[in-house]
Chains A and B, each alone.
Chain A
Amino acid sequence: MTAKKLRYYATGILSLAVACIVFVVPFLFIVVNALKDKPEAARLHFTWPTETHLWENLVAVVQARDYMLITAFVNSIILTVVAVTGLVVFGAMVGFVLQRRPSRWSGLINFMVLAGLIMPPAVVPTIWLLQWLGLFKTLSGLILIEIAYSLSFSVLLFRAFIATIPRELDEAAILEGAGPFTLFFRVVLPLLKPVAVTVIVVQSVAIFNDFTNPLYYLPGSKNATVQLTLFNFQSMFNTSYNLLFMNILIITIPPLIMFLFFNRQIVEGMTAGAVKG
């Protein structure tokens, strides 16, 4: 019994120690270096700062390049909120009809959903198309792109969840004279709240962290998103590692908040979406 207990504590402490060294130290490294002054951070040592410069560094990062970080945050938040709203509404509409009324189109639609999950998008033709539509280098263009690229994931999750809602509910609403609009937006959509929360948190983290699509479709420092500022900052602060790390720290806060509040939904959504994909 005691040997068993000893083993329990030994493996427990060992696992925790290894996990801390491998996964926590890099984050602590970001934190301590974000608090240092410029010469001290340039040494890249994993030591507590001799003097902490939290406020100074914070102000310097926010003010850099004419408050670029603020603009970037506004852009990223608009992008994330609008794109995720579109993903929830349009994805749920497709999932709903696809699950409820199989037709000769269903096979094709399922194929498209899988293609959307697997296939890498064709970049240059998309830029060409966006230019032609007048949407290149615009936030609206990028919003539509994010919706197009993530729709598949959203449809899969909604369809799976709608399968668990009894049809009798629809039938009752239809017999009471509800049209498709009322049925979907008044009756079904409110019931989709759990899966909608999952789609919202998973997709907002993904879109907020997206780097590649803004790089291609929204270039230029005027309308940067947060991930791009980080990249611009890297060359600019080539020697100001303290500000670079402070910047990383700041843009990690929104996903961290999501994680603290919605850990379960995120894990559920990622595993569910994965297993069905």
Chain B
Amino acid sequence: MTTQNKKGTRRAFAAAYPSWFYLPAAVIFGILFLFPTFASLFFSLTRWTLFKYSFIGLDNFRQFFSEPFLVWGLINTLIYAVVTSGSKVVLGMLLGILLTSNVMMRGLLRAIVFFPVLVSTIGVGITFTMLMHPTNGLINDVIAVFGVKGPAWLTDPRFALLSVAFVDVWKGVGLATVIYIAGIVSIPAEYYEAAKMDGANALQRFWNVTLPLARPATVTVIILSLIGGLRSFDLIWAMTKGGPGFTTDVVASVIYKQYQAGFYGLSTAGNVVLFVLVAAIVVPLSFVLNRREVEA
């Protein structure tokens, strides 16, 4: 009697969480995300017009790794991701420390640093394109005050990619900062008190307390900004469209350009390259970073 009753209740509990609750999400995600992902593995091996395809083996990939403008897209993607991610870690941590310390008008400062995260990327891109104008731009006007002639930020191939990366950091550092703020606030105050009692100065406290204990925040910022950086498209498109030449082309912009040009197979191969790139960097990295965290 009791066992049967228990069984019945258990069944009632199981029935309360039915599997069909997964259904709407699974259908949308499966059809519109998973299916195209698997389809891309096939179409990347074809020459494709959307209506007809012919199988050409690995030709698209061979082209991807031999054509200079495609190879540059790959290299630029890596540079862009590493530069933006590294800058966001360093600046986000410094801002996080400043904005958790006893600083004047802390709330206002936090709001100012965070607000660009919420603004349209295209709007930011266009605005900075104007600010970086070689002769009329505000940035070079300011530099000229010190008697130095500023470079053509977005049209000089030596600076273009880094200039766009700078704007990416400007817009995204607020997110890194709030992640660090959350991480630093969760460090128990006793650690700092103990360190102080042992006579550690501010720099030692940073090095031995804040840095290791804010590690989860660091891991998050690195992973998140690497994913964003590797996939980055809209800011680059708004500012340089990959130019001058193809010096600021990244894989995502190559995908769009090849799509526009009607090379659907090549564009899809670019997509496959991009998600292999993202997976090959992000998955092992997050595995290593998270494991060390457990050991520590």
- Interface positions of A (Cβ within 8 A of B): 8-9, 11-13, 15-16, 19-20, 22-26, 29-30, 33, 43-46, 86, 89-91, 93-94, 96-97, 100-101, 103, 105, 109, 112, 116-129, 131, 144-145, 147-149, 151, 155, 170-171, 174, 178-180, 183-184, 205, 209, 211-212, 215-216, 226-227, 230-231, 234, 241, 244-245, 248, 251-252, 255-256, 258-259, 263, 266-267, 270-271, 274-275, 277
Q: Which chain B residue shows the least CB distance to A272?
A: B182
Which of A30, A183, A212, A245 is the one whose CB lies under 8 Å from B234?
A212
Contact status of A97 and B120, CB under 8 A, knowing A29-B127, A275-B182:
no
Instruction: Tell me, yes or no, whether B146 is within 8 Å of chain A by CB.
Output: no
Q: Which chain A residue shows the least CB distance to B43?
A: A125
Distance in angstroms from A88 CB to nearest chain B CB is 11
Contact status of A248 and B126, CB under 8 A, knowing A16-B104, A120-B274, A120-B275:
yes
A129 & B36 in contact (Cβ 8 Å cutoff): yes
Contacts of A94 in B (CB 8 A): 21-22, 25
Contacts of A25 in B (CB 8 A): 138
- Could you pull out 22 A-B pairs where Cβ atoms are within 8 angstroms? A11-B104, A13-B104, A20-B112, A22-B170, A23-B112, A23-B113, A33-B130, A112-B34, A118-B282, A122-B37, A125-B36, A128-B264, A174-B16, A211-B238, A226-B120, A227-B120, A256-B118, A258-B118, A271-B178, A274-B175, A274-B179, A275-B217
A86 to B27, CA, bound (A): 13
Among the 9-residue stretches B7-15, B188-196, B205-213, the one with 4 or more Cβ atoms under 8 Å from chain A is: B7-15
Contacts of B113 in A (CB 8 A): 19, 23
Contact status of A11 and B115, CB under 8 A, knowing A155-B25, A234-B126:
no
A226 to B120, CA, bound (A): 10
> How would residues 100 to 112 of chain B score, 1 for a CB under 8 Å from any chain A CB and 0 otherwise?
0011110011011
Distance in angstroms from B5 CB to nearest chain A CB is 12
Which of B18, B105, B267 is the one whose CB lies under 8 Å from A124?
B267
Contact status of A180 and B43, CB under 8 A, knowing A30-B127, A211-B121:
no
A-B contact sample (5 more), CB < 8 A, given A44-B133, A274-B220 = A44-B137, A101-B14, A103-B19, A170-B16, A252-B123
A96 to B20, CA, bound (A): 12
Distance in angstroms from A35 CB to nearest chain B CB is 15
Q: Which chain A residue shows the least CB distance to B175?
A: A270
Contact status of A123 and B98, CB under 8 A, knowing A129-B32, A251-B120:
no
From A43, A93, A226, residue with most partner B Cβ within 10 Å: A93
Q: Which chain B residue shows the least CB distance to A131?
A: B50
A151 to B121, CA, bound (A): 22
Instruction: Tell me, yes or no, whether B24 is within 8 Å of chain A by CB.
Output: yes
Instruction: Tell me, yes or no, whether B143 is within 8 Å of chain A by CB.
Output: no
Which of B22, B98, B255, B271 is the one whose CB lies under 8 Å from A15?
B98
Contact status of A101 and B17, CB under 8 A, knowing A44-B130, A44-B137, A155-B25:
yes
A94 to B274, CA, bound (A): 28
In terms of DSSP, what is the predominant structure of the interface of chain B? helix
A100 to B36, CA, bound (A): 31
Q: Which chain B residue shows the least CB distance to A154?
A: B25
From A120, A126, A266, residue with most partner B Cβ within 10 Å: A120
B123 & A129 in contact (Cβ 8 Å cutoff): no
A122 to B43, CA, bound (A): 10
Distance in angstroms from B107 CB to nearest chain A CB is 9
Contacts of A12 in B (CB 8 A): 103-105
B104 & A119 in contact (Cβ 8 Å cutoff): no
| 3 shortest interchain CB distances as A-B pairs | A12-B104, A122-B40, A125-B36
Contact status of A97 and B17, CB under 8 A, knowing A44-B130, A91-B25, A255-B120:
yes
A44 to B230, CA, bound (A): 32
Instruction: Tell me, yes or no, whether B85 is within 8 Å of chain A by CB.
Output: no
A117 to B220, CA, bound (A): 13
Which of A93, A122, A184 is the one whose CB lies under 8 Å from B36?
A122
A62 to B205, CA, bound (A): 55
Distance in angstroms from A203 CB to nearest chain B CB is 12
Instruction: Tell me, yes or no, whether B89 is within 8 Å of chain A by CB.
Output: no
Contacts of B117 in A (CB 8 A): 270
Contact status of A144 and B267, CB under 8 A, knowing A13-B104, A259-B118, A271-B178:
no
